[in-house]
Structure 1
């Protein structure tokens, strides 16, 4: 009789070499060989965890997850179902890495916070970097927030409460309070001695040492690499970078991201209204902001307020309803244009067949231009200084593409319906619509920006309306003039 090994033996094999477990020195390889760790695909990890949850083998899951980075663990928690997530959290709770919350989607994070005790959340918040702690606390309801704040140590509570006083999406919310600042008169040797003596009191990661005056106003900064290369007797003020980019605490995070991208910053000091140094923004947090802003623009262009892959069906339905309602109104506007030429369509049925071609080509061409324009506005590549040149270029591109496709579509339509004049009509309409699409794709976001309206939110609605209305009117109007 043949078969697999006993279940207890299989479990021990799984413990020694579980799927998706990072490979390292414990796998029999040298430290150098393990420099680049190998990972199995996330679906394999999820499947394995689900199987062990079904078998109630929590010990195996604990061993497996102990090797995972907090970002990978966050991916695992997001991929499993709600009930599986609850069971998995029970395994993780005794040794929960606070950094996990920084990587979780906000919807999943709120779900886990609701399950956990306030003292557990407070313990995690106390160990988190101040910006991540504030990001976690700010999403909670007032009652839950008060419970967690009450359970925090006094110093951590003061930092979080101070951070919450700054506007949402501002540098004050983004900055870290832990930094290294020294007086103007200190020497390199004094700084090095201070750093060695501070030990665990130093920030976990820092790149610049800030120089402050007696009023704690920043007067310069020194990269840590420059300190390490300088002689001990040199004053830090003599090797300081004086051209520093101070960030007001109230500055919008999108402005902060622009400064980092524009000047290639790694860290930047944050100052209050009096110019006193109160925090530092690090490049890793700015990378998150750039990703969030890009994602936000992409979602808004698609008519979605927020990423909703983890939201409940009813919440997702409500979030999308208003946008669809607006599109319904604009669709009726385009339909009314078709209604004006009802008699023309009745006499020449081929027009009804070709209408989607005109509208679709115009809409796609306009979306291409609109996407470029919205992103260029967000990155400040498009401004009043070069707007006219950009509009002219996109209109010319639309006219050239319109002329090219007019020949192709016109020839195809003429052969299809055996009437060359139908090809002429749709060809002319194609030129008009793609030219207008190029204009609308640039002028609409520029105009909305002037009105202080986010172009990513409203541009696509106006663009679709313009290209549909102009396309239908040009095609059917020319058909009524030429064919009848």
Structure 2
């Protein structure tokens, strides 16, 4: 059966997908029931019309104990395209179950970037076995990609591209494309190189098709282009694609030679992954992957929960400084949690905005001062509004003007602290070359809790709230 028959590019039958293009639960259940009953033919018949991405989803939705049976039933449908779409944890488990020759056969079908994604997470000895099973050209390309650090352009790029010399005519290029079957089949532009293989321009396929054969390619090409260093972080690559609306871009090595290209379909995945990682890091939830082993998830989350426990102990020690005040007026104990909680929420809002601005290069040294002042103004307005509102509410409920004033002022102060902490802490982390998404939230919580308690209880002592001190 041909690749096209197995994985048609058309959308799977409507009956298998819901309105959000997700596999329907009843379809998944039907396939798994057939697998559990040993009816591999029925399972395969139901799965065969699916797109590779939907087959990958099906495998991920299958309970871990049933996955080997499902994969065995549809083994001829589990090809490189399916593995390339699969969740990292699930794919790693499946690849571990394959022989080195089977992995090599799958890798040989894929573009270099997809092949690297499958091989890079394998143990070193398993990698060597797979590489030995590949033909020399594929092995050399994958070994070169693996030589670059993880999450860089060198790992992300594909080597399959079209590069032609600048002295060729459009006719020479067309003849070259038609006369070599081993060339890349999916591309949007052609790279033009000088004798040293340095990229000097690009030419869209549409320009070539509409230009007379006798015209030099150097007269048609666009000389301005965005070049991506092979060691550039993939997040920075994604920002360049987003900023300059790129479809593809040339990747160069340290000497400026063309070594690969990156296409926008790879960047879409990167943007989604990086955005999700930042959100999960802010919460200390690790990778946040529901397919991640339980013990790995527990270890990742527990580390940050222990750190948060430490910050809570610091806040508790601040409260302990005012034990006599609290003992004298127990209502303060009930209200001080509101002060720290409101400050924590405000700090989280500011932190999320600043981390995103840093990640997307919206916040740089050029506008740093303006951004800090902006967040301080926002914190002051919000704090004043909340302080007045909560102060009036406290006055109505408890009929204590001094307590109402202290409560409202503490809310204002802690909002200002939250605003400053939410912007200055991630900026400091970024300046120290530490990912601000990883640890900023812990320090912001420490500031809003400790200083929030100190402000509220300190003001209560200073103004001698009725019954306190």
Q: With the length of structure 2 as denominator, give the TM-score of the two structures.
A: 0.93
Q: Distance in 1 between matches of 2:71 and 2:252?
A: 39
Contact conserved, 1:23 with 1:39, CA < 8 A, in 2?
no
Equivalent residue in structure 2 for 1:219, among 195, 200, 207: 200
Equivalent residue in structure 1 for 2:31, among 49, 68, 79: 49
For 2:111, the equivalent position in structure 1 comes to: 129
Q: Residue by residue, what CA displacement relative to the aligned partner does 1:406-436 show, whole Å, maximum 9, x if unpaired?
A: 1221122222223222211110000101111
Q: Distance in 1 between matches of 2:384 and 2:461?
A: 21
Contact conserved, 1:22 with 1:38, CA < 8 A, in 2?
no
How far apart are 1:402 and its partner, in Å? 0.8
Contact conserved, 2:166 with 2:218, CA < 8 A, in 1?
yes
1:235 aligns with 2:225: no
1:205 aligns with 2:186: yes
Q: Distance in 2 between matches of 1:250 and 1:22?
A: 39
1:241-260 equivalent positions in 2, closer than 5 A: 241-260=222-241
For 1:23, the equivalent position in structure 2 comes to: 13
For 1:165, the equivalent position in structure 2 comes to: 147
For 1:304, the equivalent position in structure 2 comes to: 285
For 1:393, the equivalent position in structure 2 comes to: 374
How far apart are 1:385 and its partner, in Å? 0.8
Q: Residue by residue, what CA displacement relative to the aligned partner does 1:432-456 show, whole Å, maximum 9, x if unpaired?
A: 0111111111111111111111111
Q: Distance in 1 between matches of 2:52 and 2:270?
A: 19
Secondary structure in 2 aligned to 1:279? Answer: strand
How far apart are 1:355 and its partner, in Å? 1.4
For 2:7, the equivalent position in structure 1 comes to: none
Secondary structure in 2 aligned to 1:306? Answer: coil
Secondary structure in 1 aligned to 2:366? Answer: coil
1:352 aligns with 2:333: yes
Q: Distance in 1 between matches of 2:331 and 2:227?
A: 64
1:269 aligns with 2:259: no
Q: Distance in 1 between matches of 2:343 and 2:22?
A: 45
How far apart are 1:41 and its partner, in Å? 4.0
How far apart are 1:225 and its partner, in Å? 1.1
For 2:67, the equivalent position in structure 1 comes to: 85
1:313-462 equivalent positions in 2, closer than 5 A: 313-462=294-443
Q: Distance in 2 between matches of 1:288 and 1:415?
A: 54
Contact conserved, 1:297 with 1:456, CA < 8 A, in 2?
yes
Equivalent residue in structure 1 for 2:137, among 155, 160, 169: 155
How far apart are 1:40 and its partner, in Å? 6.6
Q: Distance in 2 between matches of 1:411 and 1:50?
A: 60
Q: Distance in 1 between matches of 2:428 and 2:363?
A: 13
Q: Distance in 1 between matches of 2:115 and 2:64?
A: 24
Q: Distance in 1 between matches of 2:293 and 2:194?
A: 53
Q: Distance in 2 between matches of 1:251 and 1:55?
A: 50
1:383–1:98 distance in 2 versus 1, CA, 3 Å: same
Contact conserved, 1:175 with 1:281, CA < 8 A, in 2?
yes
Compare 452-461 and 40-49 and name the one that shifted more.
40-49
Contact conserved, 1:221 with 1:244, CA < 8 A, in 2?
yes
Q: Residue by residue, what CA displacement relative to the aligned partner does 1:360-386 show, whole Å, maximum 9, x if unpaired?
A: 110001100100000000111001111
Q: Distance in 2 between matches of 1:89 and 1:198?
A: 37
Q: Distance in 2 between matches of 1:38 and 1:426?
A: 48
1:155–1:335 distance in 2 versus 1, CA, 3 Å: same
For 1:31, the equivalent position in structure 2 comes to: none
How far apart are 1:89 and its partner, in Å? 0.6
Contact conserved, 2:40 with 2:74, CA < 8 A, in 1?
no
For 1:116, the equivalent position in structure 2 comes to: 98
How far apart are 1:56 and its partner, in Å? 2.0
Q: Residue by residue, what CA displacement relative to the aligned partner does 1:92-115 show, whole Å, maximum 9, x if unpaired?
A: 222422111111111111110111
Q: Residue by residue, what CA displacement relative to the aligned partner does 1:166-223 show, whole Å, maximum 9, x if unpaired?
A: 1211111111100011111111122112212224x23231111111122222111101
Contact conserved, 1:327 with 1:461, CA < 8 A, in 2?
yes
